[in-house]
Structure 1
Amino acid sequence: MAVSLVVTADTHLPKRARDLPHALWAAIEAADLVVHAGDWVDVALLDALESRARGLLAVYGNNDHGPLRERLPEVARAEVGGLRVAVVHETGDAKGRERRCADRFPDTDVLFFGHSHIPWDTTTATGLRLLNPGSPTDRRRQPTGTFLTAVADAGVLSEVVLHPVAR
């Protein structure tokens, strides 16, 4: 059965924005599963996603403390649409990322991560796909904020789309 995904990270609410962009909320409400790769900053967003999303797979980031670290793991794993998925906030420098992640997540098909605020989509020599959705609220050196959508079905990740968002 196909599973529609929305992937976000580095939301930094309410530090970088008061709320998520409307387009991201609309995608969240339409998705089967929301993946959040950390740096929420405020537990209120976690509460909101838990009440509005059909499913949530999430981790804490380096800027998350207190209740966020109590309620979320450092690494999350799940089987989604026949894929072995993992979520982590930090993967280290871009240089050597593929090798490090392939070594750390040998039994994973797709690894979602955040931290850099910069979108990333590569596949390692072992077949591990690495995806970073960027940030919808803190674009850093990017032209716009971003988030990802995708579909997981029968062990294949397809329809991977990076969505720009205006602030």
Structure 2
Amino acid sequence: MRLLLMSDTHLPKRAREIPAPLLAELPRADVVVHAGDWVDTATLDLLESRSHRLLGVYGNNDGPGLRARLPEVARADLDGLRLGVIHETGAAQGRDQRCAERFPDLDVLVFGHSHIPWDTTAATGLRLLNPGSPTDRRRQPHCTYMTATVTAGRLADVVLHRLPPRVPR
């Protein structure tokens, strides 16, 4: 099972559209995960229409329309892997322990908010992944997203992908 992970698209505020290389990944993914801060419902509509399966949550910049359609926390069993999605996890310091205590029933937690890619494993075994942002790099050198695979309840092949610089508006 192939996963495509993204967060913090902030469309059309930070960019006009999802970058073409990321759109090209959609049909290859069995599950698309978006960890919040969509900003517009058109992005949700697009991902719903082009994804085999979409697992998403709302973020702090998402208004009533998105909050009506998306949960704050999403969970799914993916071939035996217990995956969760949330937008905010708080400060980087203590994140692993804090999330492990809050989500003891998960194997993987995908989150966003910071726009900073993150890949760690808590002492309990909980894997924490932040794919960064494909449209708003903020203090990062590149816009990013992640891909991964799930086989027999195990996460593998986690790759952080850098996107080419976009042309300013």
Scaled to the shorter chain, the TM-score interval is over 0.9
2:79, 2:2 → 1: CA distance?
9
TM-score by length of 2: 0.96
- Aligned pairs for 1:145-160 within 5 A: 145-160=143-158
TM superposition shift of 1:81: 2.2
Give the equivalent residue in structure 2 for 1:112. Answer: 110
- The alignment status of 1:16 with 2:14, answered yes or no, reads yes
Aligned equivalents of 2:108, 2:130: Cα separation in 1: 11
2:138 is equivalent to residue 162 of structure 1: no
- DSSP-derived class of the 1:134 partner: coil
Q: Distance in 2 between matches of 1:96 and 1:26?
A: 36
Shift of 1:28: 1.3
Q: Output the CA distance in 1 between the equivalents of 2:85 and 2:26.
A: 17
Moved over 4 A (4+): none
**Uncovered stretches (5+) of structure 1, i.e. residues with no partner:** none
TM-score (norm 1): 0.98
Partner of 1:36: 34
TM-superposed CA distance for 1:87, in Å, is 0.1
Q: What's the CA shift string for 1:110-147, capped at 9, x where partnerless? A: 00000000000000000000000000000011111000
Taking the TM superposition and a 5 Å limit, the aligned residue runs for 1:85-96 are 85-96=83-94
The whole-number CA distance in structure 2 between the counterparts of 1:45 and 1:21 is 12
Give the structure 1 partner of residue 53 of structure 2.
55
SS state at 1:91 partner:
coil
Q: How many residues align?
A: 165
Distance in 2, matches of 1:83 and 1:27, equals 22
Aligned residues with identical type, % of pairs: 67
Give the equivalent residue in structure 1 for 2:4.
6
Query: Which residues of structure 2 form unaligned runs of 5+?
Result: none
